[in-house]
């Protein structure tokens, strides 16, 4: 198990291989499809996105409400394939990678290789486990989207698997 702290440099991302088990600590931003559409609207209008893209990691998730005495509610991954249309452009703008559930497209795989990025798989059904790894959560954009807004999460020892690496490795393919 590799313990990694975000942000990861490109050199660190290039060392990761499909199948590596890791824990991540540091800052990630949540965004699902509605938030991605808004981010793209901002980019298309030459506006600044709601968080710096350079080296950032997007977690495809929407946090549940925070129970009393906790720092986060359940925050399980959503299906990543819905973000296939968005990921290549964000990677071209410096995104370090993504976290989600399930396989992503060949176009995303090529973009990961081209930009030296990585896609981590989170475990579906483990939202409570992931919520317990969140040290702080702050809504940073699109409050009208409720749980699907963009949240900045500070995570600690967030367990993941490298699903698709910067060399074409892919745990979903032989």
Query: What are the pLDDT tens digits along the chain (174 aa)?
Result: 999 999 999 999 999 999 999 999 999 999 999 999 999 999 999 999 999 999 999 999 999 988 898 989 999 999 999 999 999 999 999 999 999 999 999 999 999 999 999 999 999 989 999 999 999 999 999 999 999 999 999 999 999 999 999 999 999 997
* Cα separation, 12 vs 28, whole angstroms: 17
Burial zone of 87 (CB within 10 Å; 0-12 exposed, 13-18 middle, 19+ buried): buried
For 13-25, letters b (16+ CB in 10 Å) and e give: beebebebebbbb
Domain boundaries, the chain: 2-164
Are 130 and 158 in contact by the 8 Å Cβ rule? The answer is yes
pLDDT value, residue 164: 98
* Cα separation, 100 vs 78, whole angstroms: 6
Instruction: Verify whether residue 36 is a known catalytic residue.
Output: yes
What class, spelled out in words, does domain 2-164 have in CATH?
Answer: alpha beta
Angle at 98 between CA 127 and CA 1, to 5 degrees: 70
pLDDT value, residue 156: 98
- Residue from 133, 132, 134, 102 nearest 120 by CA: 102
pLDDT value, residue 97: 98
Choose, from 36, 62, 83, 169, the residue flagged as catalytic.
Answer: 36
Task: Record the tokens describing residue 70, joined without a space.
Answer: 């906790």
* Cα separation, 153 vs 131, whole angstroms: 10
Full-model pTM: 0.96
pLDDT value, residue 78: 95
């Amino acid at each position: 198990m590799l313990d990694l702290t975000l942000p990861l440099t490109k050199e660190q991302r290039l060392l990761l291989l499909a199948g590596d088990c890791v824990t991540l600590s540091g800052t990630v931003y949540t965004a699902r499809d509605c938030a991605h559409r808004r981010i793209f609207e901002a980019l298309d209008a030459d506006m600044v996105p709601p968080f710096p893209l350079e080296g950032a990691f997007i977690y495809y998730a929407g946090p549940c409400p925070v129970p009393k005495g906790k720092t986060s509610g359940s925050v399980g991954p959503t299906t990543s394939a819905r973000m296939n249309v968005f990921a290549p452009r964000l990677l071209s703008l410096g995104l370090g990678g993504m976290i989600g559930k399930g396989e992503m497209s060949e176009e995303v795989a090529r973009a990961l290789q081209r930009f030296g990025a990585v896609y981590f798989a989170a475990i579906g059904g483990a939202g409570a486990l992931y919520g317990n790894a969140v040290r702080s959560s702050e809504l940073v954009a699109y409050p009208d989207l409720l749980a699907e807004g963009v949240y900045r999460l500070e995570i600690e020892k967030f367990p993941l698997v490298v699903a698709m690496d910067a060399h074409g490795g892919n745990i979903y393919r032989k």
